[in-house]
Structure 1
Amino acid sequence: MQLRGEQLAAHLERALQPIYTVYGDEPLLVIEAADAVRAAARRQGFAEREVLTAIAGFNWNDLGSTACNMSLFGGRKLIDLRIPTGKPGREGSAALQDYCARPSPDALLLVTLPGLDWSEEKAVWLKTLTEAGATIKLTPPNLGDLPAWIAGRLQRQQQGADREGLRFIAERVEGNLLAAHQEILKLGLLYPPGKLSFEQIRDAVLNVARYDLDGLREALLSGDLTRLARTLEGLRQEGEAPPLVLWAMTEEVRALAQAKAGVAAGRPVDLVLKEARVWGARQALFKKAMQRIGNDQARAAVRFAARIDRLVKGIGAGDVWDEFLRLGLMLSGRQFSCGEE
Structure 2
Amino acid sequence: MRSEQLARQLATKLAPLYTIHGDEAFLAQEAAQTIRDAARNAGYAEREVLTVEAGFAWSRLALIGNSFSLFGDQKLVELRIPTGKPGVEGGKAIEAYCANLPPDTVTLVQCPKLDRAAQNAKWFQALATHGEIVEARGIDRTALPGWIRERFIAQGQQPASDALEFLADRVEGNLFAAHQEILKLSLLYPKGEISLAMLTQTIADVARYDVFQLGEALLAGDATRLCRMLDGLKAEGEAPHLVLWALSEEIRALYKIGQGRARGMPMPQLMKENRIWGNKQRLIDGALSRVNGSTLRDGLAHAARIDRLIKGIGSGDAWDELQRLCLSIIGTRR
TM-score scaled by length of structure 2: 0.89
Supply the distance in 2 between the matched residues of 1:121 and 1:21 (Cα, whole angstroms). 11
- 191 and 289 in structure 1: CA distance in 2 versus 1, 3 angstrom threshold: same
Contact 1:46 1:77 (8 Å CA) reproduced? yes
Q: CA deviation at 1:55?
A: 3.1
Contact 1:260 1:298 (8 Å CA) reproduced? no
Amino acid at match of 1:147: P
- 129 and 285 in structure 1: CA distance in 2 versus 1, 3 angstrom threshold: farther
Supply the distance in 1 between the matched residues of 2:119 and 2:299 (Cα, whole angstroms). 34
Q: Which residue of 1 is the match for residue 274 of structure 2?
A: 276
- 290 and 36 in structure 1: CA distance in 2 versus 1, 3 angstrom threshold: same
Q: Which residue of 2 is the match for residue 295 of structure 1?
A: 293
Contact 1:23 1:116 (8 Å CA) reproduced? yes
Report the number of matched residues: 334
Q: CA deviation at 1:173?
A: 0.9
Q: CA deviation at 1:69?
A: 3.5
Q: CA deviation at 1:230?
A: 0.3
Q: Please tell me whether residue 84 in structure 1 is matched to residue 91 in structure 2.
A: no
- 8 and 304 in structure 1: CA distance in 2 versus 1, 3 angstrom threshold: same
User: 1:35-60 CA deviation, whole Å, 9 max, x = no partner?
Assistant: 12112222223221111222344333
- 33 and 300 in structure 1: CA distance in 2 versus 1, 3 angstrom threshold: same
Question: Which residue of the other structure, out of 85, 95, 98, is the alignment partner of 1:100?
Answer: 98
Q: Which residue of 2 is the match for residue 25 of structure 1?
A: 23
Contact 2:25 2:136 (8 Å CA) reproduced? no
Contact 1:20 1:109 (8 Å CA) reproduced? yes
User: 1:251-270 CA deviation, whole Å, 9 max, x = no partner?
Assistant: 33333334444444544333
What runs of 5+ residues in structure 1 fail to find an aligned partner? 337-341
Q: CA deviation at 1:309?
A: 0.4
Question: Which residue of the other structure, out of 159, 164, 167, is the alignment partner of 2:165?
Answer: 167
What runs of 5+ residues in structure 2 fail to find an aligned partner? none
Identity of aligned residues (%): 49
Q: Which residue of 1 is the match for residue 147 of structure 2?
A: 149
Supply the distance in 2 between the matched residues of 1:114 and 1:121 (Cα, whole angstroms). 12
**What are the equivalent positions in structure 2 for 1:39-78 lying under 5 Å apart?**
39-78=37-76
Per the alignment, in what secondary structure is the counterpart of residue 71 of structure 1? coil
Supply the distance in 1 between the matched residues of 2:89 and 2:241 (Cα, whole angstroms). 38
Q: Which residue of 2 is the match for residue 139 of structure 1?
A: 137
- 52 and 187 in structure 1: CA distance in 2 versus 1, 3 angstrom threshold: same
Supply the distance in 2 between the matched residues of 1:253 and 1:117 (Cα, whole angstroms). 26
Q: Which residue of 1 is the match for residue 241 of structure 2?
A: 243
Supply the distance in 2 between the matched residues of 1:115 and 1:288 (Cα, whole angstroms). 31
Amino acid at match of 1:299: R
Supply the distance in 2 between the matched residues of 1:84 and 1:184 (Cα, whole angstroms). 29
Supply the distance in 2 between the matched residues of 1:160 and 1:109 (Cα, whole angstroms). 37
TM-score scaled by length of structure 1: 0.87
Per the alignment, in what secondary structure is the counterpart of residue 106 of structure 2? strand
User: 1:143-163 CA deviation, whole Å, 9 max, x = no partner?
Assistant: 223222222212222222211
Supply the distance in 1 between the matched residues of 2:283 and 2:103 (Cα, whole angstroms). 45
Supply the distance in 2 between the matched residues of 1:89 and 1:262 (Cα, whole angstroms). 43
Supply the distance in 1 between the matched residues of 2:300 and 2:264 (Cα, whole angstroms). 21
